[in-house]
Structure 1
Amino acid sequence: MRKISLIMMCLFTVIGWSQNNSQKKDTVKTEVVEIETKYNPKIADAKKIKQQPKVSILKGSKRKTLKYNIFSVPVASTFTPKTGVVKGIDVGVKERLYNNFLALGYGNYNSPYAEFYMHHNTRFSNSFGLHLKYNASLENIGGTALNSGFSDTYSKIFYRQEERFFDWKVSLSAQRSEFNWYGLPAINFSQFVIDRIEEQQQYNQFNLQGEVNFVDSKLDHVHADIQYFNDQFGSSELFGTGLANFKFPVDFLVRNYNELEVLTGLDYLIGGFDQSYSGSNTQKYQFLNLHAKPSYQFMLGNASFQLGTKIFLALDIENDLQHFLIYPDVRFQFPLVKDALSIYGGATGDLHTNTYQNFASENPFVSPTLFMTQTNEQLNLFGGISALVTNRISFHFKASRKTEEDRALFVRNNSKSDGLTVIQNNATLQGYEFGNSFGVTYDDVTTTSFLAELEFEASKKLAINGNIRYSIFETTRAAEAWNLAPFEAAIFAKYKNNQWYASASLNFMGVRKDALYSNTFPSSIVGTQTINGFLDANLNGGYHFNDKFTVFLKINNFINGSFQQYTNFNVQGFQATAGLSYKFDF
C-alpha cells in the first residue's frame, strides 16, 4: 500500500505541476520575422518512397475502416471467423462515391431485406445522417416442430459538428430483434406439449453515444456510451461507459521524449432477471469499475516498444465486494529483415464486463435467467512473426497463452418437461424451459492458441486469404470447455473488375461439446454431447450497371450443409437473396 500511495502521489504531483505550469501567464512578447533566401532544389533533396513501406504497429494512429456495408444480410448459417480479412485489391476505374444508398432484396425462406443510408454535409462544418435496416427470415427450417424464423429492425441517427479547437458527434440508435427457441432436445414431445410452447423471444436495445475530439490539448478525446437492453420476460439492464484519453508531454524531463498517454474511464452496469432457471428469487447484478491505463511508446534502434499498465478498482455493489487489480500492458516489435520479416510479442491482461446484451448477441438462444459476473483476464502472453515472402504473398503466425478467471461458457439448459406435461410445481413452463435454451456457466480457463494466416494477391483483381486456429482449453471445474471449438479455419477470396464483383468464403468449425443430463430438471450432468464440426460456404456477387445502380446476389450455405449452430439448433439449408441497390446524392 505504501508503494501504491507513493506512485499515486508522484502521478498527481506531475499532473498538477503540468496544469499549473500551463496556466502561468507568458510575458515574453513575440515578433514575426520574415527571412527570404534563394533555394535551388536538387534531386537528392527528395525523399524516396519505398516499394513496401513499413509502419510500426506501436506508433501513430490506426487507419479507420470505412463503415459502408451494403447487403449485410445475416442468416442462420452465417459463420463469422475471429480473424481473417481479404487483402485489398485493385478496384479498377475509380467510381464516383455517393453519400446515400437504398437497397432492396428478397430471398427464399421468405426473407425480405431493406436498407437505407443517408449522410448529408452542410456548409456550416457539420453533418448528419440516418441509417435504417430490416431483414428477416419468416419461413421455418425443415424438420423443426417450433417456429424458427427471425427478424431484425435497426435504426440510427447521428449528428457531427466541427469547431475550431474540437469536433463532437452524437448518435442515437434503436434495435429490435425477434428469435425463437426452436431447438428441442431428443425427447418425444407430444403434440399437446408442442402446441403450448411459447418459443418467441424479443430483444430491444437503445444506445446513446457521444464523443469529443480535441486539437492541441492534453485531453485528446472523450467518449460516453449509454445502453439500455431488455426482453419480453421482464429482464433489463443499463450499461454506461465513459472514457477520457490524456496525452502529457514529458520532454521537460528528457528532450525529444514522446508523450505519456493515459486512458481513464469508468464502467457501470446494473440489471436483473425476474428469476433464475431453478425458479428462485430474482437475479440482480450491479458493477462499477474505475480504471486508468497509462502507456508510453518509444523506439530503440529499429525496435518499437510500448510500456504500460492497466489499473482497476472493481466494485461488485450487489454482493458488497471490492477488488484492486493491476495488469501489465507491454508490447514490442523488432524487424529481423527490413520491410520483409519482423517479430513481435507482449504481455497484457484486462477486466471484462459481461452483459446480457453481449451474451444475447453472441447466442440469441440464451434464457432470461442468467447469473452475471465479470471475467478477469489475469495474463495474456503472446508472440508472433510476420513475413512478406514476395510482393504477392505474406504470412503471419501467432502463439498465445491466456489465463482467465470466470470465463463465460454457454451450456444447454436441462428440460423441465418429460415431453408429456407443461406444468411443474403448479406453474406453467416458460417457452425456454424445454431444454431448448442456454445458460451461462463460469470457469477458470487457460487457453493456448496457435494462429497461422496466409495472404496471396493472385492478381490486381483477385485476392485470397486463409487462416487456421488451433486452441487447447484447460478448465478447472467444468468437464469440458462447453461450446468452444479447438479447431477453426477459414478461406476468403475477393474479385472485382470495372462492373463485376464477387467474394467467397469457406468457414470450418471443429467439434464442440455440450452437456448431457441424466433426467429432466433438476438433474446433474452425467456426460457430454458432441456437436459435429461443419463447413459453411458462402458467395456474394453483383453487377454494376453504372455508378448508381447495382444488382446483387448473396448465397449462404450454398453446399446445402446440414449442421447445428448450437446444440439442437439446425440451420437453414441453401439460401439465396437477390436485389437491387441505388446510390445517390441529394
Structure 2
Amino acid sequence: MRLHKTIYTTTLFFFAAGFYTLKAQEVKPPEKTVSEEIEVIRPYKPVLAEAFKLRRSPDLDNLKTYRARFNYALLDRKLELNSDIQKLQAQQLADERAIELINNYVKGGVGSLGTLLAEGYVNIGKDEALQAGAFFRHFGQQGKLNKQNENRQQLSVFGRSIGDKANLSGRLNYERHGLFFYGIDETRPTLNPNPERQVLNFFELEGEVVNKYNSDENAFSYAAKVNAYMFNDKYDAKEQTITLTGYLNKRINNFNLGLAASTELGNSKDLNTKVSNNVLRLNPYIKLQANGVKITAGLNFVQEFGTTSTTRFFPAVTADFTLIPDFLQVFGEVKGDVNRNTLKSFTDENPFLNSNIAIKNSIEKLSISAGIKGNGGPGFGYKARFYSKKITDMPLFVNNYTNFNKFDVIYDFGNMKLLGLEGEISVQVSDDLKWTGKLNIEDYKPASEQHSYFKPQLRVSSNFLFNFNKKLTFNANVAIQDDSKAKIYTANPMVGGIYTMVYSPAIENVVNLKGFVDLGLGADYKINKQFSAFVKTTNILNTNYSKYLYYRVNGISVFGGLSYSF
C-alpha cells in the first residue's frame, strides 16, 4: 500500500513540473526556433520499500492490570421486612403565643327616667377543670307616673369542678325586686293617691353531679340535682320548695334504658291561706337511636300529695327523624304532666300580685306537637312547630274588685284547648351580621271563662346585631304583641273570701288591651382593650302601652355608660 502511494505521488510530481515548465516556456517565445529530437532509452527498475507485517493478535503477556482503590463504610443495620406504609411525622410547629383572656368586667351607666345601671362579673381564670365566679347587677328606673319606680338586684355565686369520672357544679343566687302598685285608672285617677310598696325576695341554692360522657356502647350514666329556694314579699306571703331530681341511663348498643325521677316538696302560705302541693314524678323509658332515627317511648307517672292527693298516668313519647342530614329533621311529641303552680312562678309573670292567692296545680292532660327543624346552609337555621294542648284548671290573672291595682289568680275550670304555631329563624351572614326572629300564634278556647285573660294571640320578637368595624357595634330589638283581654268586676265576686269560680256575665265586664310595638336600639364602642362605651334606647316609639290593665310601661328612655374589662 505504501508503494502505490509513492508511485502516485512521484508521477503527479513529474506531471506538475512538466506542465509548469511548458507554461513558463510559453510566456516569452524565443525569437529563433530550434527543432531537435532527443531519444533516451534505458531499462525501468522499480524500487519497492521494505514491507512490515502487522500482527493481528495482541500480545497478552505484556498487559498490565489496573487496580482501582475503593473506600468502604459498612453500616451495621438490621434488615426490616415490614412492608406497611410508614406514618409521616408532622413537623412540630412553634408554640403559639398564649391568648390573654379577660374574664372580669364592671359596667356602669345613667340616663333619663332616673336610670341607674351597675353590673359586675369576676371569674378565677382559665382553669378548665375548676371554674368559680360571681355576678352582680342593679337596674333601676323611675317613670313619669306617681311612684312608677322599679328596681332589680341580683347576686349570684357559682362554681364547677370537672373530675375524672364526674362533674360537680353549684350555685347560690339571690334576687330582689322592688316596686310600687302604681296602677292608675284613667277614668278615676284619684283612686290610688298613695301607691303601696312591694318587695319580692328570692333565695336559691342548687347543686348538681353528672357523670362524664363515656363512648362505650354499653355505658352507664347518671345525674342528680338538688334545688331549694325560699320566697317572700313585703307582706305575709312565704314559700319554700325543695326539688330532688335523678336520672339513670344504661346504653345497650343502639338502645337506651332509663329512668328519670323528680320530687317537688313545698308549701305556700299567707295571712289567710296555706297550701302544700307536692309532686312525685317517675318516667321510665326506652330509647332507640340509630341511622338518623331517635325514638323515645315511656310513661310519666305523677303522684300529687299534700293538701290534695291524686295519681295520674300520662304518655311520654318523642320521635326525631333526619330526612336530609344537617338540613331537614322531622320531630313530634305526645306527653302529659302536672304543672305545679307557685307564688314564685306567678310573680315572675305578673309582679303586681295580691295577697292570699289561691294555689292549685294545673293538669296538662294531653299535649301534641310536631314540626320541622334544620339548617338551610351555613349561617341559616330554622324551626317550625305546631302544637295542641288540653289544660285543666289553667290559671288566669284578674284585677281585684276592692284593690283594682292588684291582681288575683282564678282558674279556668274544665278543659281549656289551645292551638298554637311557633316559628324560629336564625340568619348569620357573617361574623359581623346576625339576625334572629321568633313568632308565636296561639288560639285559646276557654273551658268556663269568656276569654283567656292577658293571653295575646300574636307575639313577635326579633334581635339584630351588626359589627360596623372592630370597634363599633350596633344592635336592635323589637317586640310586637297583639291585643289581649282583661276582666273587671262590677260587683264583688267573692263569697266568704273565695271566688265563685264560675263565669258571671252580670257582675263582670271585658276590657280590651291594645297591642303594641316596642323598638329598642343600642351601640357599643370599644375605646381600647380595657374600656368600652355603650348607649341604649328603649321604647323609641314612646308608646303608652300596658301589658296588664292599669299599668302603663315607661315611655322612651336613653341611657349609657362605660365598662372596664380586666
Q: Which TM class, normalised by the smaller chain length?
A: 0.7 to 0.9
Query: Could you give the per-residue CA deviations for residues 382-423 of structure 1, whole angstroms, max 9, x where no partner exists?
Result: 111235445455443211101111111112222x2xxxxxxx
- Listed as ranges, the matches of 1:11-22 within 5 Å are none
Letter paired with 1:442: Y
Q: Relative to structure 1, is the Cα distance of residues 466 and 198 closer, same or farther in structure 2, using a 3 angstrom cutoff?
A: closer
Specify the SS of the correspondent of 2:452.
coil
Q: Which amino acid aligns with 1:347?
A: V
- Aligned AA for 2:408? G
Correspondences of 1:224-239 after superposition (within 5 Å): 224-239=226-241
> Which residue type is aligned with residue 171 of structure 1?
R
| Counterpart AA for 1:440 | V
Specify the alignment match of 1:289 in structure 2.
Answer: 279
Match of 1:514 among 486, 508, 526: 486
How far is the alpha carbon of 1:565 from its aligned partner? 2.2
Matches within 5 A, 1:118-129: 118-121=122-125, 126-129=130-133
Contact 2:182 2:192 in 1 (8 A): no
Counterpart of 2:230, as a letter, is Y
Separation in structure 2 between the aligned mates of residue 159 and residue 303 of structure 1, nearest angstrom = 36
- CA change 1:122–1:385 in 2 (3 A) is closer
Please point out which of 492, 515, 535 is paired with 1:533: 515
Q: CA deviation at 1:520?
A: 6.5
Distance 2:355 2:446 in 1: 25
Call closer, same or farther: CA 1:409–1:245 in 2, change over 3 Å.
same
**CA contact 1:270–1:287 (8 Å) conserved in 2:** yes
Equivalent of 2:116 in 112, 117, 133: 112
SS in 2 for 1:478: coil
Q: Which amino acid in structure 1 is aligned with residue 246 of structure 2?
A: A
Q: 1:228 to 1:493 in 2, by over 3 A?
A: same
Contact 1:96/1:547 (<8 A) preserved: no
2:422 touches 2:440 (CA, 8 Å); kept in 1?
Answer: yes
Which residue of structure 1 aligns with residue 443 of structure 2?
A: 472
Structure 1 consecutive aligned stretches of length 4 or more whose deviation exceeds 6 Å: 520-524
- Displacement of 1:569: 0.7
Give the one of 218, 222, 225 matched to 2:224: 222
Indicate whether 1:407 and 2:357 are aligned: no
More deviation, 149-158/458-467: 458-467
The reply to whether residue 259 of structure 1 matches residue 256 of structure 2 is yes
Identity %: 21
Higher RCO (Cα < 8 Å, 6 or more apart): 1
Of the three residues 544, 547, 555, the one matched with 2:529 is 547
Q: 1:354 aligns with which of 326, 341, 364?
A: 341
- CA RMSD, Structure 1 to Structure 2 (Å): 2.7
Counterpart among 85, 102, 105 of residue 40 in structure 1? 85
Which residue of the partner structure matches residue 205 of structure 1?
202
CA apart distance, 1:235: 0.7
Residue 377 of structure 1 deviates from its aligned partner by 1.1
Number of aligned residue pairs: 459
1:328 aligns with 2:330: no
Q: Which amino acid aligns with 1:568?
A: Y
Equivalent of 2:383, from 362, 387, 396? 396
Shift of 1:483: 0.5
1:375 deviates by 1.5
Query: CA, structure 1 residues 95+550, in 2 after alignment: closer, same or farther (shift >3 Å)?
Result: farther
Cα distance in 2 for residues equivalent to 1:163 and 1:340:
36
Equivalent position SS for 1:367: coil
The reply to whether residue 152 of structure 1 matches residue 149 of structure 2 is no
State the shift of 1:300 in Å: 5.3
Instruction: Tell me, in whole angstroms, the C-alpha distance in 2 between the residues paired with 1:296 and 1:207.
Output: 34
Map of 1:140 onto structure 2 = 143
* CA distance in structure 1 between the partners assigned to 2:559 and 2:197 by the alignment: 25
Which amino acid is 1:501 matched to? T
State the SS of the aligned residue for 1:259.
strand
Structure whose CA Rg is larger: 2
Shift of 1:122: 9.1
The 3 A distance-change label for structure 1 pair 537 and 124 is: closer
User: How far, CA to CA, are the matches of 1:456 and 1:271 in structure 2?
Assistant: 44
Contact persistence 2:491–2:508 (CA under 8 A)? no
Look up the match of 1:167: 167
Secondary structure of the corresponding residue to residue 255 of structure 2: coil
From 492, 496, 499, give the equivalent of 2:471: 499
Structure 1, gaps ≥5 residues long: 1-36, 44-93, 275-281, 417-432
C-alpha distance in structure 2 between counterparts of 1:160 and 1:178, whole Å: 31
Q: Distance in 1 between matches of 2:103 and 2:512?
A: 48
Structure 2: segments with no counterpart, 5+ residues:
1-81, 89-97, 495-503
In the TM superposition, 1:407-486 aligns within 5 A as 407-414=394-401, 416=402, 433=403, 435-443=404-412, 444-486=415-457
> Aligned pair in 2 of structure 1 residues 39, 440: CA closer, same or farther (>3 Å)?
farther
Q: How far apart are the structure 2 equivalents of 1:130 and 1:337? A: 43
The aligned amino acid for 1:203 is: L
Where does residue 18 of structure 1 map in the other structure? none
Normalising by structure 1, report the TM-score. Answer: 0.73
Superposed, 1:336-351 pairs within 5 Å as: 336-351=323-338
1:27-50 Cα deviation digits (max 9, x unpaired): xxxxxxxxxx8863799xxxxxxx
CA distance in 1, matches of 2:290, 2:210: 30
Counterpart amino acid of residue 152 in structure 1: R
Tell me, in whole angstroms, the C-alpha distance in 2 between the residues paired with 1:338 and 1:455.
18
Would the aligned equivalents of 1:95 and 1:547 in 2 still touch at CA under 8 Å? no
Q: Determine the structure 2 residue equivalent to 1:9.
A: none
Query: Matched residues in 2 for 1:226 and 1:448: separation?
Result: 34
Structure 1 residue 96, shift from structure 2 partner: 5.3
The amino acid of 2:366's aligned partner reads L
Give the letter for the 2:132 counterpart. F
Relative to structure 1, the CA distance from residue 488 to residue 194 in structure 2 (aligned partners, 3 Å threshold; closer, same or farther) is closer
- In 1, are the aligned partners of 2:261 and 2:283 still within 8 Å (CA)? yes
